[in-house]
Structure 1
């Protein structure tokens, strides 16, 4: 799935939902089920009682190929099954929150507020497209994948001890569609029915013409809510009351907008399941909220929280030499990131008439001088992003389109720029690293604006049909001013009246929900096995759905068609070809101004943790919350030294 990650050198742009609709700030959900999409294999065959069809009964599902872990696996390979439980993990989040309800449009949910809930199945950190049973012990489905029956564990219970039943799963689906975020109505539109066959068997029936490879996994990953709990509560309202879930953690304390602490449940029903062994090791998880980077960093130096992933190049390059580091109390590391680096950029709001012409969008992109920014602001730490699937050798478009790509693109030739077929995949031209105002780039940008009808008037600003060209960049981070302001300078040089609209985090989130911006910054982390979730970011169905992840408002038939080909691909090769074709099209449409990526995790933490790996984390996450653990011996040594 596409997830929203914190933007590098930026404010957070939290986790994307079936990204699970959680605003995850500087954190990553360790619920790895959000990273996977797909279907089938490593199974036994049985006969479905209701249809007589031959069906597959399995402990897990995978998009392509066999599952890594068999039905009798004891734990994932990358965990320490003997990891001790205890201690606290604490980190920070940007902005504010006023809700513990992550699945509705109202309010701003706290980081990790999905932690209260289990799902039928969950993923892991070393397979890109596999899920294994959590609440569901097994799943049955026919080879054509048009339906799925999940056999639920009778021992699964909510926090209050009541059983998790098939009726709760049906209720969860219905309430998400009718009262959840509007984007659920789009992402779940190919669910024809959800029915409880008995107390612990639930059946999903899917549209035969839908993306069947995806739909089973979407069903498996839905949060399970308590029907009884919401019998006398309004699900759509935001609330700071701890919801009734069946997950490993409960709420210990909350201070709205300031901090939230989750506490591990000793009575959690599923703690000994293979998918949970060696995981969820911290007794408490605390997130401290801060309004800006500088304050948050200074608080970390003083020990206000224990773990920090650094997203600001200036701080990383110049400030990790404070006494706690020099004394060996704080560890500073760079770990590899094996995932696609995602799509971080300035996103145009295509719902606005002034951005309809792609020449205008391309010209505005030319005004951003990455090379100068990297040398002058980022200490040379970043590379320029050009792909929506950056840092992926198999999904990123390169060079001219292949024959296989052309076969997919040809039906849409009339709806696509000629450059898709005649030029190499678009990459931004390099600008001067020593001069912010690269004359060649600005001259070419001016030419494109002239062609689009935006001509310079006597006052130096550009006009079209009597309207002055103005742009406002939405920004909720003081630390991002140093990046936006030089960009604004270059836009002004082009004759565009540009400014940065600084608002607080709460207002920024609300304005993004309502699409009330010209340009906003967002970072999506793409899956190694992309699928139907791409509709949420690029699909026409979501272009005008309030609160959706389609921040650009993109509505393009060719894009929709290619997403459909990705979601229905029958082999990884087909999926990769279709994804490269989509990447090529999106880049040619100039729906964003791509920013930068690093391809590594820059982390710092007080030396109170241990983990099951040395320098090479699992491919799909470092697992700091899920598979690390607290060392009381190390913590005591730091306390004795006065570090904590």
Structure 2
């Protein structure tokens, strides 16, 4: 028989403990600072207040209507760009939105601020001060183009789908950062993040994930890792209208788009249709533009920009030709070495091959002096490494110990070599290259060819897209002729767009003209482009760069808590990437070269981070009617 006194004491003690636990829990919740906001930035600074009515650079009264059209080169056989299989059609992500919005076609929005994200499908978000979790509160009115509601279940499904079936480098990076996805209710979803890792690029990555219809995927059995033309309905302002494989794709504005009146969208998404015309090569595309088969062109060929726009429609003002400011750091393009090739793992061989590129002659003779030589991954920004490291950057590099080569601490940041502009082959650089190759054990034989001690010839293959610019081909051919003068056998393999895509994915080349990314902030994306873990298979790392030094700098940048400290590490990253030397930097242009039929208008000031022709430009019906009356457009 139990003792009633002892029983009463035990009961009182349990009640007391329960009461204390409740008090402690309430106190802990009160002390845990959370942020509720209409947008997100890592440092908490948002340029647009909660009651903003539209982005500063848009025309809020821009009329809706008309069509804008542009060209694409090569072919496409899929409308699913999230797989390595097939060649995705242009703008094939345009239908899909995310919790935190972006610009039309994947550009930046808002385009006048950097690394700030504002709610689109999500009305607001809440996260703890330590960024261990985030809750998105979604807009109940969000709908897919088939009229079905967009819910938190679709968000969770989409995130899981890309982790299971999406690009491996992305899936691997993200899966290690998310511990749990909880659907709280139909319009509320919570992400929990892995303890002990950087809080960088967590909230914005999950907030920027495309949202697909769970019901459509379950009904059709479609997979994200397959090439296909049928697509799931999206929730965005545009939807697919017409697909004519290898000829054209037409997107139309959804007349029932749920988000038309959101401040995020005011003055944006102004065209009724966006048409993409496909052509086999650049010459065919340019002639079609002159004939009025499409209406907007961003020019990348310096020869054409300098010489080919002297035709009646331009002279008569029916086509506008202008340069518009580009405030973004230029894309780091150049001749990329495949570091998976044994012969190219010797830095001396890479150095020698690079000396075959004569920027000065190329720019004057082939590109009309219109470009500048690019040196940095953050060219012309405050994050571009200049001179030898000093101050905080030097202290940071020294803190990394033996990972940092001694000469990197004392030498100036790597700059491109200079050449004489008066002739293609610079004798001074040729002599330097010859010595480097001799030192690397590649001797010149009686036939003028270089071989190693085993008698194997030194040979490099350059992969080129035959649908691309004829000027680029000329540049590559002249570069390779200089490389051949060193005794290196060269092969230029120009293949069609489909083969080019497949061979790039398989890294079936020694050299390729490709690109990386500039970086004004740090984040998980840096690992996909420059990190060792995914180097063997990442489609974003064409060199296959795998550097413990680069890895550590990226990791350190993501541990920094202030922008000032982060910037120090990013400058060091630029320095380290240039030191690793996996790309021959070529050139850059600090303006957009555009030509278009005079039926479009744009804000007086273009924002720094996007040209925005598909996003915030608009159509002038009266001008369009005049062009058609004059027979300028088909």
> In the alignment, which residue of structure 1 is the partner of 2:154?
168
* TM-score normalised according to structure 1 size: 0.90
Structure 2, unaligned runs of 5 or more: 1-25, 102-108
Out of 20, 40, 64, the position equivalent to 2:43 is 64
> In the alignment, which residue of structure 1 is the partner of 2:23?
none
Work out whether residues 333 and 604 of structure 1, in 8 Å CA contact, stay in contact via their aligned partners in 2: yes
Work out whether residues 602 and 617 of structure 2, in 8 Å CA contact, stay in contact via their aligned partners in 1: yes
Deviations 1:511-547 (A, max 9, x none): 11111111111133424334321111111122112x5
SS at match of 2:159: helix
Correspondence 1:247 to 2:236: yes
Aligned length: 594
> In the alignment, which residue of structure 2 is the partner of 1:563?
554
> In the alignment, which residue of structure 1 is the partner of 2:261?
272
Correspondence 1:376 to 2:376: no
Offset at 1:407? 2.4
> In the alignment, which residue of structure 1 is the partner of 2:482?
490
Correspondence 1:462 to 2:450: yes
Out of 373, 385, 391, the position equivalent to 1:403 is 391
Correspondence 1:327 to 2:316: yes
Structure 1, unaligned runs of 5 or more: 1-46
Correspondence 1:177 to 2:168: no
Deviations 1:250-300 (A, max 9, x none): 111011122111000010111111111110000000111112111111111
Correspondence 1:214 to 2:201: yes
d(CA) in 2 for partners of 1:107, 1:443: 45
Structure number, greater radius of gyration: 2
Correspondence 1:196 to 2:183: yes
Work out whether residues 527 and 554 of structure 2, in 8 Å CA contact, stay in contact via their aligned partners in 1: yes
d(CA) in 1 for partners of 2:379, 2:522: 13
Correspondence 1:102 to 2:81: yes
CA separation of 1:580 and 1:56: change in aligned 2, threshold 3 A = same
Offset at 1:70? 0.6
Correspondence 1:145 to 2:131: yes
Q: CA RMSD in A?
A: 1.7
> In the alignment, which residue of structure 2 is the partner of 1:619?
608
> In the alignment, which residue of structure 2 is the partner of 1:536?
528
Work out whether residues 516 and 540 of structure 2, in 8 Å CA contact, stay in contact via their aligned partners in 1: no
Offset at 1:52? 7.8
| Pairs within 5 Å for 1:13-24 | none
- Structure with greater helix percent: 2
CA separation of 1:48 and 1:641: change in aligned 2, threshold 3 A = farther
> In the alignment, which residue of structure 1 is the partner of 2:333?
344
d(CA) in 1 for partners of 2:413, 2:172: 30
Deviations 1:302-350 (A, max 9, x none): 1111100110000000011111001110001011110101211011110
| Pairs within 5 Å for 1:197-596 | 197-231=184-218, 232-235=220-223, 236-392=225-381, 394-464=382-452, 465-476=454-465, 477=468, 479=470, 480-545=472-537, 548-596=539-587
> In the alignment, which residue of structure 2 is the partner of 1:21?
none
d(CA) in 1 for partners of 2:235, 2:617: 22
Which is worse superposed, 67-76 or 403-412? 403-412
SS at match of 1:540: coil
CA separation of 1:199 and 1:132: change in aligned 2, threshold 3 A = same
d(CA) in 2 for partners of 1:108, 1:207: 34
Work out whether residues 103 and 181 of structure 1, in 8 Å CA contact, stay in contact via their aligned partners in 2: yes
SS at match of 1:618: coil
Work out whether residues 261 and 286 of structure 1, in 8 Å CA contact, stay in contact via their aligned partners in 2: yes
